[in-house]
Amino acid sequence: MKWARISVRTSDSALEPVYALAERIGANGVLFEEGPGVVCFLPVDDRLETSLLNLRAALDELRQFGIDPGPAEITITFEDDRDWANAWREHFHPLEITPTLTVVPAWQEYKPRPDERIIRMDPGMAFGTGGHAATRTCLRALERYTPGKNRIADIGCGSGILAVAAALMGARDVLAIDDDPVAVRVANENIALNGVSDRVRIRQGNLLEGVEERFDVIVANILPHVVAAMAESAHACLDSGGLYITSGFTRNTDALVRDRMVSAGFQMEPNLEEDGWLCLVGRR
């Protein structure tokens, strides 16, 4: 397979956000490089042009959230004969999210403790291994807030990690949605891998568009402007007391999300934070 090596020149303050953007377009082997910059790899297929356009648009939007992307220059070179789709697996090890929750690579043997809940993941070309702080804070919020909650929606589900976690934490009906057919396929595989297919439904769609169900919890680990724009529709899809769990943004951009959530009618719960990445929780 031929691979596109994508190098993004940026600023020191934008390194983490650009890293997250690269992950969200399905890139493999995301690394920091001197410059400063971020380098990642994408397969040369019919999705490459769309992925690059999405990355370019997301870089331009960073300024709206007070993040200076610096030059924001994208350089593309092409490489053959390297299995970038699998080489990154060498760096994916069991990740302890909380004392009772661990994310385990699907291909590794792992014996859980009696009190330990494990999520087995093979993210493939989809976002979500638990390795990013935004995902970890969402997982911790689910563990904190979802016991006793039965109807949960995971919007922009990526690899399906949050939907799987919700089911393993006791939810009886989980709806996972993503607009990327690759993510839908990967999420289906991870849902089956964890034995929760009887509790998790997945569909391809655009956020909450066309969703008429009501939920106890909606979780969205997406880009900040998307999470903010979805606040009103999330509020409308939640029952009284329902929770909107949001992540995918840093302290530089949380004010926009928080303001939109409050304007939509949410009462804010204590937030979670790790490495400057926040998870905001609003109660209807």
Q: What tens digit of pLDDT does each residue of 22-59 get?
A: 887 877 678 888 878 898 888 887 778 888 888 888 88
Percent of the residues in the chain that have a pLDDT greater than 70, as a whole number: 93
Residue 146 and residue 173 in one domain: yes
Q: Check: CB of residue 268 under 8 Å from CB of residue 281.
A: yes
Residue 73 and residue 109 in one domain: no
- Distance of alpha carbon 180 from alpha carbon 158, whole angstroms: 8
- Distance of alpha carbon 38 from alpha carbon 118, whole angstroms: 31
Q: What is the CATH number of the domain that holds 262?
A: 3.40.50.150
Q: How many domains does the chain have?
A: 2
Quickly tell me which residue has 């964890």 as its tokens.
Answer: 194
Residue 62 and residue 158 in one domain: no
Residue 37 and residue 134 in one domain: no
Residue 55 and residue 97 in one domain: no
Residue that terminates a domain, selected from 35, 55, 87: 87
Percent of the residues in the chain that have a pLDDT greater than 90, as a whole number: 48
Residue 118 and residue 27 in one domain: no
The one-letter amino acid at 15: L
Residue that terminates a domain, selected from 72, 87, 102: 87
Residue 62 and residue 196 in one domain: no
What is the token pair recorded at 275? Answer: 């490495």
Element (H, E) at 13: none
Q: Check: CB of residue 211 under 8 Å from CB of residue 236.
A: no
Residue bearing the bigger pLDDT, 59 or 142: 142
What is the token pair recorded at 43? Answer: 């397969």
Q: Which residues contact 218 (CB under 8 A, 6 or more apart)?
A: 152, 153, 155, 208, 234, 237, 238, 242, 243, 244, 245
Q: What is the pLDDT of residue 90?
A: 63
Q: What is the pLDDT of residue 172?
A: 95
Q: What is the pLDDT of residue 226?
A: 87
Quickly tell me which residue has 């001197």 as its tokens.
Answer: 34
Element (H, E) at 166: helix 161-168
| pLDDT score of 120 more than 90 | yes
What is the token pair recorded at 174? Answer: 């989980």
| pLDDT score of 183 more than 60 | yes
State pLDDT tens for residues 56-90: 888 888 887 778 899 999 998 887 655 555 655 66
Task: Look up the domain containing 269 and give its range.
Answer: 92-283
Q: What is the pLDDT of residue 261?
A: 97
End-to-end CA distance of the chain: 48
| pLDDT score of 125 more than 70 | no
Residue 121 and residue 28 in one domain: no
Q: What is the pLDDT of residue 32?
A: 82
Residue 41 and residue 135 in one domain: no
Q: Check: CB of residue 3 under 8 Å from CB of residue 42.
A: yes
Tell if the pTM clears 0.75, that is, is over it.
yes
Residue 130 and residue 203 in one domain: yes
Q: What is the pLDDT of residue 2?
A: 78
Average pLDDT, the chain: 87
Which neighbouring-strand residues pair with 279? Answer: 247, 272
Q: pLDDT band at residue 225, thresholds of 50, 70 and 90?
A: confident
Task: Tell me if the bond preceding 36 is cis, omega within 30° of 0.
Answer: yes
Residue 100 and residue 56 in one domain: no
Residue that terminates a domain, selected from 38, 56, 87: 87
Residue 120 and residue 220 in one domain: yes
Q: Residue 119 to residues 116, 130, 139: CA-CA distances in angstroms? A: 10, 10, 11
Handedness of CA 192, 196, 199, 203 (dihedral sign): negative
Q: What is the CATH number of the domain that holds 29?
A: 3.30.70.260
Name the DSSP letter for residue 211: -
